[in-house]
Amino acid sequence: MLSDEADSAAGPTEWGENPNGVGPWSEMFDAPRPTGPQYDPELLDGGDRRNVVDAYRYWTREAIVADIDTRRHPLHVAIENFANDANIGTVVRTANAFAAQAVHIVGRKRWNRRGAMVTDRYQHIHHHESVADLLDYASSENLTVVAVDNTPGSVPIETAVLPRRCLLLFGQEGPGVTEAARAGASMTVSIAQFGSTRSINAGVAAGIAMHSWVRRHADISQAWN
């Protein structure tokens, strides 16, 4: 389902705050106005400045989601949210960019959507009360749970073989993945670091891990140019 819960903090709106985009169709193109069911008459009249790729300009939100649904990857992403982690918005935005099947939020249902840049409106988001609930879901969907955390015994993600039907599980900023999550995962992978910091920002780590999956399993020829 699409998340429609009110933002826990003020964030960008879908319309009017993005300086990019296109104006009304009649001002932009010397061509007949399109009439397909995917087009939004209000956007055609007033312009489309949403944060969407050019292929989706003037489309309704529902049409965009339906089109992405035909191409989503069997990649799920979960993040534990026991302290209202501000990184969740970044995780959602990146998951949308890679056409992940769904983002799962474990723990607190409310989260700061500012970092998502409105991409949560195009991304399937599910909530789970506990890690146990998430693991039950993964089992029912035949998803291999892979925890991402720099802990002793973890496998470098640079050499790990991530499964195609995969759920990448991230902990909140600071403490990382909980023991319950780590115990329920089939494997734990880490991201190679070479500097002084003990850990990478959770949103950045999620992007690195998702791209590792993309490099192995996605059809790059289908990516937007």
Poorest-pLDDT segment among 11-20, 123-132, 154-163: 11-20
107: β partners: 81
> Taking a C-beta distance cutoff of 8 angstroms, is the pair 95, 209 a contact?
no
Predicted confidence (pLDDT) per residue in 167-199, tens digit: 999 998 778 899 999 999 999 999 999 999 988
Query: pLDDT tier at 16 (50, 70, 90 boundaries)?
Result: very low
Where are the CATH 3.40.1280.10 domain residues in the chain?
73-222
**What number is the average pLDDT over the span 125-144?**
97
Average pLDDT, the chain: 90
**pTM beyond 0.85, yes or no:** yes
Poorest-pLDDT segment among 19-28, 48-57, 189-198: 19-28
CATH class of 73-222: alpha beta
Residue 106: CB partners within 8 Å, gap ≥ 6? 78, 79, 80, 81, 127, 128, 129, 130, 131, 133, 134, 181
